[in-house]
Amino acid sequence: MASLRWVSWIMIAHLFVLTFVYPDSSSDSNKLKEIPKKFLQFAKEPELFDWMVGIRRRIHENPELGYEEFETSKLIRTELDKLGISYKYPVANTGVIGYIGSGQPPFVAIRADMDALAMQELVEWEHKSKVPGKMHACGHDAHVAMVLGAAKIIQKHSEELKGTVVLVFQPAEEGGGGAKKIIEAGVLDNVNAIFGLHVAHYIPLGEVAGRPGPMLAGSGAFEAVIRGKGGHAAIPQHSIDPIVAASNVIVSLQHLVSREADPLDSPVVTVAKFQGGGALNVIPDSVAIGGTFRAFLKSSLIQLKQRIKEVITGQAAVHRCNGTVDFFEIEIPLFPPTVNDNELHEHFQNVAGDMLGIDKVKDMKPVMGSEDFSFYQEMIPGYFFFLGMNNETLGQLDSAHSPYFRINEDALPYGAALHASLATRYLLELPSQVTFPDEKRHDEL
């Protein structure tokens, strides 16, 4: 009987909590689920949609390479000023960090990369790149427009925030490691989570794709010079042939994958550059080779780097040549693998599912491409996903880094609304972070 009385008291206490402490818990849950659809509807309104399209096209016409995004950054700051959003500038040379909300914790960040690629645009259209040899061929112009669109949505609904949304406009994603410099600047020290996206030409419009855990590979780059002794091609015994040495180097580099690496780790070593000689009857003095190496484990990446150097210098010596290797550690830092946080994956599925329908939220396999968003994820729980923009009425879209790359601008509202929803829902669903006097943290950014 005593045990039954305890059960009765527990049931009464439970009913008390549901009735008086959380009287509107069901209602609040429904309100949270409606946020993504409400934000998407707002993002599709002509005024906001046309505004994002205009921003994207202005950036596309005036592409700037990594750490040179001065006009892009100026455009971003101008729009933030119009929205009444405060920001820090410059961060990492040309970066802009904006703030919406209370300025107090918890903090959640959404990120856009700003830089273009050094390539000539071959798409003929009204807003083609005006800068010879430079093009937004990876969608960063759209990424900026979508985060600005998200900023406008969040600012419009700022009364619903409980904390602060941090807007990260980052330079130099294309090899320059701009994310690493943003981290080093300390402007994200107290951020609890960060979200990023990339447009995808092969995923249908209105769909998204992501996965928990490793998603994109870590990567590094190398270039080597193999020096021999030039001479007449008809009397090779008087020369030291660097082309033969370089050829053996390339074959030996492939053995790092086929004979030294765990096959389940899926590493890649690719030599994509081979330059040597300019005449058909002359053995050159030197040959330059270069390429990339990738893996899903940072330890494997470091091991590959060490072995690439050993193979190049060792094989060059076997053929009486001298080999030197440059890993561009300052210009192109080693990118860690992009690893999505498991809890944020669940958050992403919930938010995207409420907006698009769970059948439009796809699981994807890991991809050997790399992203400097991974630098954030080494310091902060982060989530990176792909946003579909394929529409059969537009014809086949070319892949990123193609001179024929195009953006389906109908994807802009989806990206803006997802950014805004992921950040807003995160703040509303996350309990306030408690800080203690002895913690080496600040209450604001």
Q: Binding-site residues for Mn(2+), please?
A: 138, 140, 174, 198, 401
* DSSP of 138-179: SSHHHHHHHHHHHHHHHHHTGGG-SSEEEEEEES--SSS-HH
Do residues 66 and 176 touch, judged by C-beta distance below 8 A? yes
Distance (Å, rounded) from C-alpha 132 to C-alpha 410?
A: 27
Can you tell me whether residue 281 is helix, strand or coil? Answer: coil
Amino acid at 437: P
Of 137, 209, 147, 213, nearest in space to 173 by CA: 137
- Compute the distance between CA of residue 324 and CA of residue 313 in angstroms, rounded to an integer: 6
Closest to 79 in 3D by CA, of 107, 56, 45: 56
Q: What is the rounded distance in angstroms from the CA atom of residue 56 to the CA atom of residue 200?
A: 16
Q: Would you list which residues are annotated within the binding site?
A: 138, 140, 174, 198, 401
Residue with tokens 């096209």: 57
- Beta strands (DSSP E) in 313-438 are 322-326, 338-340, 361-363, 382-390
